[in-house]
Amino acid sequence: MAATWMRQRDTPIVYLYCEHCQSCCYSSLEHLALLLPELKQFHSRYPRIRALPAHYIEAAGGRALVSSYESVTSAARIDIVTSLENFQILQIAGGQA
């Protein structure tokens, strides 16, 4: 299965194509952040969360995407900083109220 990255409306998207079954799927970088263990812990601690608008910053010498999620019922918030050069997680901050 090959993976490529593309942009759709200025949102980083991962696109996967399986040559064996000739199927494809794609997901936004913000959605993929929800699969991180830290986000899963945050979501189990705060079952009602919402995504905040993503924004771009300079980090680690390049452009990065900040994906943020907050609890609907408390002041808890978590931020994920992802490099747009190589899509590595640069920082995860927050997670507690």
Compute the average pLDDT of residues 8-19: 76
pLDDT digits (tens, 9 = 90+) for 65-80: 999 999 999 999 999 9
* Matching residue, tokens 């696109």: 15
Decide if 30 contacts 51 (C-beta within 8 A): yes
Decide if 42 contacts 78 (C-beta within 8 A): yes
Q: For all residues of the chain together, what is the average pLDDT?
A: 88
User: Which of 31, 34, 29, 33 shows the shortest CA–CA distance to 14?
Assistant: 29
HEC profile of 64-83: EEEEEEEECCCCCEEEEEEE
pTM passes above 0.85? no
Whether 5 shows a pLDDT value over 80: the answer reads no
pLDDT digits (tens, 9 = 90+) for 38-58: 999 999 999 999 999 999 999
Helix (H) or strand (E) holding 35, with range, is none
